[in-house]
């Protein structure tokens, strides 16, 4: 006959071991973060997404107590970097500061993108920035009314440029065409630099910039600002009207936004810690100052990013279908 005392001790030991294994994941999550965090940016250094990512990384590092480093993975309109995060372990150590293109638009315009919004944990909206419709100095227009009148009189005669097919800039131009019932040819450029050169050289009548990219040329008088593309004027440029102020373009509301995401199925304790640090970042005076200096508006802390993304994808899908964009 087995010793009852021995059996009881053995049972107690097994239960204790089982409890240890059961709480191990919870303890690991409670210890988060215990090593450096990587924020992936899907573009080379120097652009608006990179600037936003670095500002977020600096603040999160201070608030979470570990280094937060940026990894720039350029290519495919941000999609290569986004795919890395979508495929990463959901432990909170690999995050994405992404823009509207790689998160919500690319999937709509090319079959090469294999990830979807559902492959991410939406942590929070960071900031947004309007685009701006501009005219070259040789286009002969000074405001949106003159632009509309001139383009409407000669359908197909004029062109507008963007930084590439399927970019936010392209979609903004197509939204303007749809709302204004205008016909202009779209000229896709390989980035902002050649687009800028043709506008400044009067080889192109109209173009769409991210506000921060266009602002130096607007201030110098090398291009004419016709209107920004969000529903209200930007605080950074209160003297530039929103296109939506004109009756024909009252529904124009599109911009570039930046969000913080992780891989799908991020554990709640990890999500909660990152979300808390992000909310504190959005309220930081230093962070707000950096973002506003770049032309961005910092997001409110109570934005439901899942709902926001769903609405943005629906909006972009409508424009993509109107413009028949597909790569």
Q: Are 94 and 85 in contact (CB under 8 A)?
A: yes
The H or E element spanning position 121 is strand 120-136
Categorize the per-residue pLDDT at 27 as very low, low, confident or very high, splitting at 50, 70 and 90.
very low
Q: Closest Cα to residue 256, out of 128, 132, 157, 113? A: 128
Q: What is the pLDDT of residues 211-251, one digit of tens each?
A: 988 999 999 999 999 999 999 999 889 999 999 999 999 99
Can you tell me the distance from the alpha carbon of 79 to that of 84, in angstroms, rounded to the nearest whole number? Answer: 9
Do 130-249 and 36-129+256-323 fall under one CATH topology?
Answer: yes
Q: Closest Cα to residue 41, out of 96, 80, 83? A: 96
Q: What is the rounded average pLDDT of the residues 201-215?
A: 93
Q: Are 48 and 40 in contact (CB under 8 A)?
A: no
Q: Are 282 and 126 in contact (CB under 8 A)?
A: yes
Categorize the per-residue pLDDT at 24 as very low, low, confident or very high, splitting at 50, 70 and 90.
very low
- Give yes or no for residue 76 having a pLDDT over 80: yes
The architecture that CATH gives domain 130-249 is 3-Layer(aba) Sandwich (3.40)
Distances in whole angstroms, Cα of residue 237 to Cα of each of 200, 233, 281: 21, 7, 24
Beta strands 297-298; 37-41: pairing state: unpaired
Label residues 25-39 b or e (16+ Cβ within 10 Å = b).
eeeebeebbeeebbb
- Give yes or no for residue 306 having a pLDDT over 90: yes
Which pLDDT belongs to residue 5? 54
Q: Are 40 and 260 in contact (CB under 8 A)?
A: no
Q: What is the rounded average pLDDT of the residues 63-74?
A: 96
Specify the 3-state DSSP secondary structure of 38. Answer: strand
Q: Closest Cα to residue 71, out of 61, 82, 63, 60? A: 82
Cα dihedral across residues 313, 319, 322, 326: positive or negative: negative
What is the CATH topology of the domain spanning 36-129+256-323? Answer: D-Maltodextrin-Binding Protein; domain 2 (3.40.190)
Can you tell me the distance from the alpha carbon of 176 to that of 135, in angstroms, rounded to the nearest whole number? Answer: 14
For the chain, which residues make up each domain, given as ranges? 36-129+256-323, 130-249
């Amino acid at each position: 006959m087995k010793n009852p005392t021995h059996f009881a001790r053995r049972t107690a030991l097994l239960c204790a071991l089982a409890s240890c294994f059961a709480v191990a994941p919870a303890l690991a999550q409670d210890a988060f973060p215990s090593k450096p965090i990587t924020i992936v940016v899907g573009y080379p250094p120097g652009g608006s997404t990179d600037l936003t990512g670095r500002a977020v990384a600096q603040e999160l590092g201070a608030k979470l107590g570990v280094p937060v480093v940026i990894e720039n993975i350029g290519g495919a309109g941000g999609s290569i970097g986004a795919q890395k995060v979508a495929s990463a372990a959901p432990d909170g150590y690999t995050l994405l500061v992404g823009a509207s293109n790689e998160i919500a638009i690319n999937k709509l315009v090319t079959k090469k993108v294999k990830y979807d919004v559902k492959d991410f944990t939406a942590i929070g909206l960071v900031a947004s920035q309007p685009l701006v419709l501009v005219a070259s100095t040789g286009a002969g227009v000074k405001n949106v009314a003159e632009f509309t009148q001139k383009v409407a009189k000669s359908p197909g005669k004029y062109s507008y440029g963007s930084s590439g097919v399927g970019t936010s800039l392209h979609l903004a131009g197509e939204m303007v065409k749809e709302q204004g019932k205008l016909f202009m040819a779209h000229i896709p450029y390989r980035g902002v630099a050649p687009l800028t050169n043709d506008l400044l050289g009067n080889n192109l009548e109209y173009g769409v910039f991210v506000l921060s990219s266009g602002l130096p040329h607007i201030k110098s008088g090398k291009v004419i600002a016709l209107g920004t593309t969000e529903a209200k004027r930007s605080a950074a440029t209160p003297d530039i009207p929103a296109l939506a102020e004109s009756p024909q373009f009252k529904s124009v509301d599109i911009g570039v936004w930046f969000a913080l995401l992780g891989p799908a199925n991020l554990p709640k304790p990890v999500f909660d810690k990152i979300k808390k640090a992000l909310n504190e970042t959005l309220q930081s005076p230093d962070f707000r100052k950096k973002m506003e200096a770049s032309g961005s508006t910092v997001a409110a802390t109570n934005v439901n990013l899942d709902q926001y993304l769903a609405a943005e994808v629906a909006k972009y899908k409508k424009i993509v279908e109107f413009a028949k964009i597909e790569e």
